[in-house]
C-alpha cells in the first residue's frame, strides 16, 4: 500500500501542465484529490483521468486563486468533503512578459497575486488541517527564481524569487507546527504556460527548441513527470527531515547562469 493511499492532496492549477500531471501522479498512489483551476472543462477531464488512474475520490473546485473568496471556497469545499488535508501543492502559476519601459501595474498584480499571494494565503488557510495531519506543502517555483535574468521576464522571475523566499520563511515558521514546506524549481517544461502570455504557437515551439540546449544534462527540456517525481518525493515520508528546500529539477541548467 502506498503512503499516499487515502491521503488528501490539494493541487492548485490542476487543469493543465505540471498540475494535471501531479494530480495523475498522486492518483496512481490512491490519493483523495482536491483539484482546482479556472477552466472547468479541462479540470473535469483531468479529474476523469485521475479516477481511471486510481484516485480514491476526486473533488473538483473551479476557482481563481487571485480572488480571496475563491481561495476560501477551495479550502472550505476540500475540508467539507474530506475533513482533513495532508498535502498542499501550490502549483498554479502564470507568466507575464514585459520590458521595464512597458511595465504596467496590472501585469505585476496578476502575476504576483497567483505566484506569491495565493501561495501564502492558501498555506494559511490550510494550516489547521496540515497541523493536525503533520502534513506538508510543496510549492512549484522555477529555476527562474535566481538562476538567470532574462529581459522580458522581470515580473515572473521576481515572483519566483519571492516564492523561494516564502518557501524558506514558511518552513522556518511552521517547523514548530510539524509542517514541512518545500519547493521544486523546474527548468523548462513544455506546457501551455507561454501560449497563455499571448505568443504564437510558432514562437512557443521556437523558444522550447532553443531552451532545450540550455539544460546541459541531455540537452533537452525537463519532462513533466520528472517534476512530478520530485513533488512526490518532497511530499513523501522519504523527505521527513527536509524542509525549506528548493529542489532544482533542471538538468543542470541552473549551473549555467542562463
Q: Which of 48, 192, 205, 206 binds ligand NAP (CB under 6 A)?
A: 192
Residue 173 C-beta: closest distance to ligand NAP, Å: 22
240: cell is 521527513
Residue 3 or 206 with smaller CB distance to ligand NAP:
206
How many Å apart are CA 169 and CA 76, to the nearest integer? Answer: 25
Residue 159 C-beta: closest distance to ligand NAP, Å: 8
Set 121, 129, 148, 156: catalytic member: 156
Residue 98 C-beta: closest distance to ligand NAP, Å: 16
129 belongs to the catalytic site: no
Q: Is 65 in the site for ligand NAP (CB under 6 A)?
A: yes
Residue 32 C-beta: closest distance to ligand NAP, Å: 20
The rounded radius of gyration (Å) of the Cα atoms in the chain is: 17
Binding mask 113-132 for ligand NAP (x = CB under 6 A): -x------------------
The piece of 53-61, 81-89, 181-189, 233-241 that touches ligand NAP (CB under 6 A) is: 181-189
List the 246-249 sheet strands across, edge first: 57-62, 32-37, 8-12, 87-90, 136-140, 180-186, 246-249
Q: Is 19 in the site for ligand NAP (CB under 6 A)?
A: yes
Residue 15 or 34 with smaller CB distance to ligand NAP:
15
Q: Which of 121, 196, 197, 239 binds ligand NAP (CB under 6 A)?
A: 196
The secondary structure of 148-172 as a DSSP string is: ---TTBHHHHHHHHHHHHHHHHHHH
Element containing residue 58 per DSSP (H, E): strand 57-62
Burial of 13 (0-12, 13-18, 19+ CB in 10 A): buried
The secondary structure of 183-249 as a DSSP string is: EEEE--B-SSTTGGGT--HHHHHHHHHHHHTT-TTTTSPBPHHHHHHHHHHHHSGGGTT--S-EEEE
Q: Is 16 in the site for ligand NAP (CB under 6 A)?
A: yes
| 41 contacts: CB under 8 Å, gap ≥ 6 | none
Cα 61–Cα 66–Cα 67 angle in degrees, nearest 5: 70
Q: Which of 25, 93, 251, 254 binds ligand NAP (CB under 6 A)?
A: 93
Residue 2 or 233 with smaller CB distance to ligand NAP:
233
Q: Is 251 in the site for ligand NAP (CB under 6 A)?
A: no
Residues marked as catalytic: 156
Binding site for ligand NAP (CB under 6 A): 13, 15-19, 37-39, 42, 64-66, 91-94, 114, 140, 142, 186, 188-189, 191-193, 196
Amino acid at each position: 500500500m502506498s503512503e499516499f493511499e487515502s491521503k488528501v492532496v490539494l493541487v492548485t492549477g490542476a487543469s493543465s501542465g505540471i498540475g494535471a500531471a501531479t494530480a495523475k501522479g498522486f492518483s496512481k498512489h490512491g490519493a483523495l484529490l482536491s483539484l482546482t483551476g479556472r477552466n472547468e472543462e479541462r479540470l473535469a477531464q483531468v479529474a476523469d483521468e485521475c479516477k481511471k488512474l486510481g484516485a480514491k475520490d476526486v473533488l473538483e473546485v473551479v476557482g481563481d486563486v487571485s480572488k480571496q473568496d475563491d481561495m476560501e471556497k477551495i479550502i472550505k469545499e476540500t475540508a467539507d468533503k474530506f475533513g482533513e488535508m495532508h498535502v498542499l501543492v501550490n502549483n498554479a502559476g502564470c507568466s507575464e512578459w514585459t520590458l521595464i519601459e512597458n511595465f504596467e501595474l496590472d501585469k505585476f498584480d496578476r502575476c504576483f497575486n497567483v505566484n506569491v499571494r495565493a501561495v501564502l494565503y492558501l498555506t494559511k488557510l490550510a494550516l489547521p488541517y496540515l497541523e493536525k495531519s503533520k502534513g506538508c506543502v510543496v510549492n512549484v517555483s522555477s529555476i527562474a527564481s535566481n538562476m538567470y535574468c532574462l529581459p522580458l521576464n522581470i515580473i515572473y522571475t521576481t515572483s519566483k524569487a519571492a516564492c523561494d523566499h516564502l518557501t524558506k520563511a514558511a518552513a522556518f515558521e511552521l517547523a514548530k507546527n510539524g509542517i514541512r514546506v518545500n519547493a521544486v524549481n523546474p527548468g523548462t517544461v513544455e506546457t501551455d504556460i507561454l501560449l497563455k502570455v499571448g505568443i504564437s504557437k510558432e514562437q512557443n515551439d521556437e523558444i522550447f527548441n532553443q531552451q532545450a540546449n540550455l539544460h546541459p544534462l541531455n540537452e533537452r527540456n525537463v519532462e513533466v513527470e520528472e517534476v512530478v517525481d520530485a513533488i512526490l518525493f518532497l511530499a513523501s515520508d522519504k523527505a521527513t527531515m527536509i524542509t525549506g528546500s528548493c529542489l532544482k529539477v533542471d538538468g543542470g541548467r541552473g549551473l549555467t547562469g542562463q
